[in-house]
Every structure is written in structure tokens, then in C-alpha cells.
Chains A and B, each alone.
Chain A
Amino acid sequence: MEQASSDLEGQLQPAPLEPLGYADGELEAAVGEKAEGAQEESSGLDTMTENNFWLKKIEISVSEAEKRTGRNAVNMQETYTAYLIETRSVEHADGQSVLTDSLWRRYSEFELLRNYLLVCYPHIVVPPLPEKRAEFVWHKLSADNMDPDFVERRRIGLENFLLRVASHPTLCRDKIFYLFLTQEGNWKETVNETGFQLKADSRLKALNATFRVKNPDKRFTELKHYSDELQSVISHLLRVRARVADRLYGVYKVHGNYGRVFSEWSAIEKEMGDGLQSAGHHMDVYASSIDDILEDEEHYADQLKEYLFYAEALRAVCRKHELMQYDLEMAVQDLASKKQQCEELATGTVRTFSLKGMTTKLFGQEAPEQREARIKVLEEQISEGEQQLKSKNLEGREFVKNAWADIERFKEQKNHDLKEALISYAVMQISMCKKGIQVWTNAKECFSKM
């Protein structure tokens, strides 16, 4: 018995990190014409080359957005925005691209795609979608989903999502993703037919596992903390940025009033008139310059927002690990208790409380044949249980291996992207300062000529 329990303990240890090594037979690689040949993933490096190869082969863009009206599920009229997705294959030799597919999708279909990917690839940090509703709004931005600026930023976000999926070594080969880009009609039905919703873990189950799991991999616990911190700090940053933007807008726009008043004043001035008038013009230029400046900053905010939402994707992977680990722990516990029951029945000692034991005590011992039958059943269950435990363990280790590989990939991507975004912020500030210097230099000249 001791041997068995130590075996189980060994099986509970999280697996050490190993290079990616499995081929997911379920999913067909189907993106682009050359896809059929590249089903096997032999090693990480090869996968990367293959995918860069694919990226050269196809270009994806969300090129347009259009307002549509239609009938929704309860047959009421609704207005929504549809986005045009164009896929081009790039001819290898001369770099010319040919339009291969073009179809319209709405936001809810993107959501369906993502939910599908989340369920089918729980070990992958699935790229997030741009926000459903405008958050971190400062006063000028409309919180209205139909607002053209919001729609434009969403279009860019959706394109970014598709590009991220297409450049992911695993996700890009998914058939449903391929169909999303190529099959307009019936796509929703096709997705639902996969029955992926049935595979989804219930929120309640996941929550339960999070609280009750005893021995999760420390790296995932740390990752969970990291993703919480990331989410909290980026939210805070975005909130304050929005307030700063609001204030800056105020400062610039009030200067516009100078323009109007200077102009009116210049009418009564003989010598000062020209200077006032032209200075006023520069005040108007200054006031209107803030619109472009803040528009650019909005794109920066969107880049940060993507990683805010990525934090949720990281947490989803951690939750899946916790769920699997908890499942494993429960299976171990169950197996141990069955083995104990079996032992007790065999030796006649009662160490554990059981209803059967109580009734036996109260109503007399059972016949030896009954006991034998029970032992037999238990032995079968134990054998089954041991098989299941083995496969669960294997699954768990595979999951940790693959998840951690994707997390490393994600970390590199994140560091690169965030650094780029922060540097672009500095570039924006520089541009704003240069504009300011120019306007005020012009204004100063006008003032000095008054």
C-alpha cells in the first residue's frame, strides 16, 4: 500500500518542461494552399519557419466596416456593423498578391470564433478581441458603438486579432479559423456542429477547482499573480491617461477662444490690429492641433488595452491547469479510498466509515459471496481508475509542457510589443512638442509685431 501511495505522489508532481512534441491529430492544417503538406510539427523551430512561410503566402486584412440592419434572434430590427475580411495569397516569386477570399463578418462571429479557440486550445494564450464597448472613455470620445471613430478603431483591432491568430504556430492551422476566412454562409452552423460548447468547462467547476486545488504548479500560481498585477496596473494607467487627455484637451481648446476675441478686438485697433488678427489665427491652429494628437494617443491606448485583455487569456490558461490538477487530485483521492475499501473488505477490518459497514453492524454480516462480488467490482473500478489516472497524469503533463511553451512565446511577444508601444508614446510626445514650438514661435512673432 505504501508503494502505491508513493507512486501516486510521484504522479502528482508537475512535469518538467520539455520541447513541444505532440501533433494534434484532431485538427487539420488548412490555411493557404500549401497547408495540406505541413501537418506534422517536428520541432519548435520548424514550426516557426513553416508559419513565416505561410505568412508570406497569405495576407489578411479587415478592410472595411459597414452599417447594416437586420433581424435578430427574437425577430426585432437591429443595427450592427459588418466588417469586410479580405484574404490575399502572395505569389512566391514576384510578391504580387491575389485576392483569394472576401467575406463579411460581424463582431459576434469573431466572438464565436474566439470562444471556439478558447475551448479547443486551453493550453494556448488565445489573442483577445478588441473591446465590445468603449471603456476608458474621456469626454470627447463617444461611448456609442456606432460612432465612426470607435468603429474604425475596432476594425483595426479585429484585423490585429486575425493577424495574431494567423501568426500563431498552432492556431493558424485550425480548420474553423480557415473557414472563418473563407466560408461566409453556414459558418456559424459548422462551428456549432463541432459541439465545442459541450467541451467547455463550467465556470462553477473552474471556480471550485481554483479554491480547492492543493498542489498546482508554482509557475502557474505566479503567472496568475502576474496577470492580476498586469491587469490592475494597465487599467489604472488607462484610466489616468484618459483623464490627462481630457485635461490636455481643455487647455488646448480654451486657447481657441483667444483666436475669436483677438479677431474681434483687432477691428478697433489701428496699429495692433494686424498682429492681433494673425496671432489669433495661430491660437486657432494650436487649439485644433490637439485633435490629431489625441487621436494618435488613442491608438497607443488600444495597444495597451490589448495586453490588458491578454491578462484574462493568461488567467484562462491558469484556470485550466488548476482544473486539470484538481481533477487529478480528486481521481487520486478516489482511487485511494476505493483501494482502502477493497483492503477492508478483504481483511475484514473496518477502518473507514461506510454505510454498508454500518448496516452490516446493525443488521448482521453479509454473506461471503456478496463480499466477494463487491471486492470484484471494486477491483475492476480500481483497475479502471488506475488507467484513467495514468492518462490524466499524461494529459496534465502534456498540458503543462505545451502551455508553458506558449507562455514563453507570449512573454517574448509581450515584451517586444509593449516596448515598441512605450517608445511610440515617446515619439508622439516629441511630435506634440515640436508642433507646440512651431505654433508659439509663430504666435510670438505676431505678438512682437503688434
Chain B
Amino acid sequence: MDINSFSPMMPTSPLSMINQIKFEDESDLKDLFITVDEPESYVTTIETFITYRIITKTSRGEFDSSEFEVRRRYQDFLWLKGKLEEAHPTLIIPPLPEKFIVKGMVERFNDDFIETRKKALHKFLNRIADHPTLTFNEDFKVFLTAQAWELSSHKKQGPGLLSRMGQTVRAVASSFRGVKNRPEEFMEMNNFIEIFSQKINLIDKISQRIYKEEREYFEEMKEYGPIHVLWSASEEDLVDTLKGIASCIEKCCKATEKQMSGLSEALLPAVHEYVLYSEMLMGVMKRRDQIQAELDSKVEALTYRKGDTDLLTEEIGKLEDKVECANNALKADWERWKQNMQNDIKSAFTDMAEENIHYYEQCLATWESFLTTQTDLHIEEDSEDKL
């Protein structure tokens, strides 16, 4: 069953929606596969920017072909996100990686930065593809399939700059008015989002800090091992022992390196995505509140008989529908989002724990095998003495 926020026959029970969403997310039913790769520098007289190659493979009928290859830049992704937010103001749109990283970035086009961004963009598109509603969005389809010039002309359609500005102004104004009638469940949701945002930000900082400390530990360990080799040059009787220890330290260093890369490839991006999600969620809450505020202001106007009563009543009717749709869309998506968050966090931390176990197991094996060589020698030496 197609779930679309524009569909009039939307089921109202979140539970039934969850069941359907789970059904739709089964990987063997997946019919849209997207990859983002090959970042390339594109130089013009005015500017330099990076484009990413996007390959789409699909079996869907509404697509003209089964395979597409396009190049997109970050600006294009921003445009897509904007369109999705416009079309589905109370759905939880996946987050985009940041425009700039404030601290420590000298050049925008640093290799690590590009690599991280590329992976995040890949995640972004795949999350949209997995979303029961967003996956059928028209702008999304255009983004994946249109050639450069087609995309430009498509972008020019739709509400102009002025009307977008107007929307922003109204949004700001309504947020100043505050939320008087926010329903209970959305109060809870808001509370959750606030605390979640705090905590996930802290976890992000802690994880980054752990990576930094591990890096510094690794650097010191690299210097530590060789000193034992140096020492062995002046100690005839301790050569094997000292060299053995140096070799163990070196192996543990390699294990540390591997563990660190696991951290930076899996845990850190996963946690960071949810930091961005938490910002996104606050935006979604605001938009929902804004839609409700529109209704509330019309109701207020009617109550105080400001303006044409009939017109107002008609408008209120439409707005009431709009509010109901928005709320239901959000409620359903919220449950879906929470489920995903739980799974993602669970698997990110479980994998991190697994990496750490593996790290310690490797080091343990290294030291244990060193110890057996030493104690074997000890036994040999002792028996020689006794002879």
C-alpha cells in the first residue's frame, strides 16, 4: 500500500503504519540502489567545486531506464533537501553533512573532509530511498536521473525566491508567538528531542575525544617499542627479551591503528549523523508548530470576528485538515525514525564493542606468545644450571 502524505486515505493508527513500514523496508523488496563515489574537482573561471558521481539502479516502472549516472555538487543536494522539506514539512528528512566544519578547517577540499562528506551524501540518498514516502518524491527522481542542464531548468520551476522568503518570514513570526496549543504527545516528543539532542551531542564530543586520545597514545607507542631494540644493543644477555618486547609493542600498535580506523569509519559518522538528525528534528517540530499556529490565528480571528466569517470558516476547515495531515505524518514518521535510531545506535555501539574485544584479543595473543618463549627459555636455562 502506498503511503504518501498527500493520500486522502491515510491510516491513522501509528501501529498499523509501523507494521507496513517494516514490511516495506525489507531489503529483498528494495528496488532502488544508489551509490555516491568519485569526487572530482571542477574548475571554472569563477569558482572551484567538487562534484560526486551518483549511480542509480532501479527496477521501478516510473523510471525511464534501469540505470542512471549523473554528477552532482553539494549545492544540488541542498536544493533537493529544501524541496523535500517544502513538500513534506513534517516528515523527518535525512540530514545532510555540514556545509563547513568550523574548527580546524583550513581548506574546504581537504581529502579527509571530502571522503567523509562523500560517505555522508551516500547515506543521505539511501535514507531517502528507504523512506516509504520520500522515495517516490518527484524532485528526488529528477535529482537521480536528470542531466545537468535538465536539472537546472527543473530547479527554476516552482515557488520563486520571493515566495520562499515570505514563508521564512511567516515561520519566524509564528515561532515568536510561541506554541500555546501543542498537543500532549508533541510536548513529549519535543521534550525527547531536546534531551536526545543534548545527549547525542555529548556522545559525539566524547567519541571524537576518544579518537584523539587514541591517536596520541598510538604516536607515543610508536616511539616506545624501538627504545627496547636500542637497549638490546648494549645487553648481550637480554637481547631476545628486549627485542621480543619491542616486537610485541609494534604488533599492538598495528592493532591500535586498526581499532582507530574502525572507530572513524563506523562509530563516529553514525553518531554524527544523529547529531545532525537532532537539529533536523527541531526544525520539523518548528514547522509543525507553525502549521498549527496558522490555524490558531485564523480561529482567533473568527472568535473576535475580524474579517469575513464565511471565508474564515472555509479557511479554518482547510487548515484543520492540513494540521491533521501534518500531525499524523509526523507521528508515523516519528515512530519509524525512533525505530531506526535505536537500531543504528545499537549496531554502532555493538560494533564498537566488538572492535575493542578484537583489539584486546590480538594484543593478548601477542603478549602470551612472547611469554611462552621466555618461560621456555627459563626452563632450559634452569635445567642447564642444574647439570
Contacts and interface: CB of A to CB of B under 8 A. Distances in A.
A448 B241 contact: no
A415 B381 CA distance: 13
B227 A268 contact: no
Nearest to A240: B224
Contacts of B360: 433-434, 436-437, 440
B281 interface: no
B220 A240 contact: yes
A214 interface: no
Given A268-B195, A427-B371, A444-B353, A247 B216 contact: yes
B-side interface mostly: helix
A-side interface mostly: helix
Given A236-B227, A237-B231, A251 B210 contact: yes
Contact of B356 (A233, A257, A436): A436
B361 A257 contact: no
Contacts of A264: 195, 199
Given A240-B223, A423-B374, A437-B361, A250 B216 contact: yes
Contacts of B361: 433, 437
B15 interface: no
A207 interface: no
B357 A437 contact: yes
A226 B237 CA distance: 14
Given A233-B234, A254-B209, A268-B195, A426 B214 contact: no
A437 B364 contact: yes
Contacts of B234: 226, 229-230, 233
A433 B213 contact: no
Interface in B213-242: 213-214, 216-217, 220-221, 223-224, 227-228, 230-231, 234-235, 237-238, 241-242
A448 B217 contact: no
Contact of A447 (B202, B210, B237, B353): B353
A447 B349 contact: yes
Interface string A248-262: 101100110110010
A450 B242 CA distance: 45
A237 B245 CA distance: 13
B202 A426 contact: no
Contacts of A236: 227, 230
Contact of B371 (A234, A265, A418, A426): A426
Contacts of B363: 429, 433
Contacts of B195: 264-265, 267-268
B77 interface: no
B364 A444 contact: no
Given A237-B227, A247-B220, A251-B210, A265 B196 contact: yes
Interface size range on A against B? 35 or more
Contacts of B238: 415, 418-419, 422
B202 A261 contact: yes
Given A265-B199, A419-B241, A233 B371 contact: no
A423 B216 CA distance: 26
Contacts of A436: 356-357, 359-360
Contacts of A418: 235, 238
Interface in A405-450: 415, 418-419, 422-423, 425-427, 429-430, 433-434, 436-437, 440-441, 443-444, 447-448, 450
B227 A240 contact: yes
B115 interface: no
B187 interface: no
A118 interface: no
B248 interface: yes
Contacts of B374: 419, 423, 426
B368 interface: yes
A21 to B, nearest CB: 26
B351 to A, nearest CB: 9
A106 interface: no
Nearest to A434: B364
A57 interface: no
Contacts of A434: 360, 364
Given A244-B220, A265-B195, A272-B342, A430 B364 contact: yes
Nearest to A246: B220
Interface in B176-229: 191-192, 195-196, 199, 202-203, 206, 209-210, 213-214, 216-217, 220-221, 223-224, 227-228
Contact of A251 (B213, B252, B354, B375): B213
B354 A423 contact: no
A271 interface: yes
Interface in B334-387: 342, 345-346, 349-350, 353-354, 356-357, 359-361, 363-364, 367-368, 370-371, 374-375
A212 interface: no
19 contacts: A229-B234, A237-B228, A240-B223, A248-B217, A251-B214, A254-B210, A254-B213, A257-B206, A261-B199, A265-B196, A419-B238, A422-B241, A423-B241, A429-B248, A429-B367, A433-B360, A444-B353, A447-B349, A448-B350
* A-B pairs with lowest CB-CB distance, top 7: A444-B353, A247-B217, A433-B364, A436-B360, A265-B199, A250-B213, A440-B356
Given A257-B209, A261-B203, 9 more contacts: A233-B231, A268-B192, A419-B238, A423-B241, A426-B245, A430-B364, A433-B363, A433-B364, A440-B357
